[in-house]
């Protein structure tokens, strides 16, 4: 966590965001409570057959409750019910102050997710 002035603090992410490699993070106040939340996404299919794919994860919304304490919401709880090898996440503005999120998949179609629920 960037604490400012070139200083960083190591914090553990909830285990739900560690089921597979993470390739992209996006931060923002996703539930409008004034605290910075995080969306993580990843997966990796390029492992050799002996190891198997690292594909156990869906995007995870980490809602900040207390100082640097996060509550995870996955899949249908967060509205981020998309899979694949996610490599990047970007937010876009829609009409009426709404937002959507573009999830770029490795060698795949871009997923578009609207913030349907104010979690």
Q: What are the pLDDT digits (tens) for 57-83?
A: 888 899 998 777 899 987 666 667 788
Domain-wise residue ranges, the chain: 12-114
pLDDT tens, residue by residue, 25-42: 999 888 889 999 999 999
Q: Do 114 and 73 form a contact (C-beta atoms < 8 A)?
A: no
Q: Classify residue 8 by burial, with Cβ atoms within 10 Å: 0-12, 13-18, 19+.
A: exposed
pTM: 0.82
């Amino acid at each position: 966590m960037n604490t400012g002035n070139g200083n960083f603090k190591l914090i553990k992410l909830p285990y739900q965001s560690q089921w597979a490699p993470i390739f992209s993070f996006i931060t923002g106040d996703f539930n409008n409570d004034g605290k910075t939340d995080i969306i993580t996404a990843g997966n990796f299919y390029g492992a050799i057959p002996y190891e198997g794919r690292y594909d156990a994860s869906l995007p995870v919304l980490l809602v900040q409750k207390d100082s640097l304490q996060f509550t995870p919401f996955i899949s249908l709880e967060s509205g981020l019910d998309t899979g694949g090898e996610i490599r990047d996440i970007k937010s876009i503005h829609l009409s009426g102050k709404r937002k959507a999120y573009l999830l770029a998949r490795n060698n795949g179609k871009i997923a578009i997710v609207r913030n349907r629920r104010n979690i």
